[in-house]
């Protein structure tokens, strides 16, 4: 029984990671030249203060993150939350 559960967890993890890897870094209404910060601002409906709060929250969770990585994580988290 434990083996079946372990295999199920492993399969779920692989599928999750594969799905994340398949997501393009830039998917901004078809604009391939949009920066991640532009994407975040678009997702925040132009609210710069909200975008900054989301960036700061990501940096607070992982202080070693660069600003660009924090923006990418904020975009991913916001998209996931809106599914």
Q: What is the largest CA-CA distance in the chain?
A: 51
Total residues found in the chain within this entry = 83
**Backbone torsion region of residue 72, taken as left when φ is above 0, otherwise alpha when ψ lies between -120 and 50, otherwise beta:** alpha
* pLDDT score, position 16: 77
Q: Is the pLDDT of residue 26 over 60?
A: no
pTM for the model stands at 0.61
Helix or strand run (H / E) with residue 61 = helix 48-61
Q: What is the mean pLDDT of residues 59-65?
A: 95
Q: What is the mean pLDDT of residues 27-48?
A: 81
Domain ranges of the chain: 2-81
Q: Is the pLDDT of residue 31 over 70?
A: no
* pLDDT-based confidence at residue 68 (cuts at 50, 70, 90): very high
DSSP string, 20-34: HHHS-S--STT-TT-
């Amino acid at each position: 029984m434990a083996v079946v559960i372990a295999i199920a967890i492993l399969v779920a993890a692989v599928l999750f990671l594969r799905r994340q890897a398949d997501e393009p870094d830039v998917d901004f209404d078809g604009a391939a030249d949009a920066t991640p910060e532009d994407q975040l601002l678009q997702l925040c409906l132009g609210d710069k203060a909200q975008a900054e709060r989301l960036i700061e929250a990501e940096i607070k969770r992982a202080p070693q993150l660069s600003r660009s990585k924090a923006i990418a994580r904020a975009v991913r988290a916001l998209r996931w939350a809106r599914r």
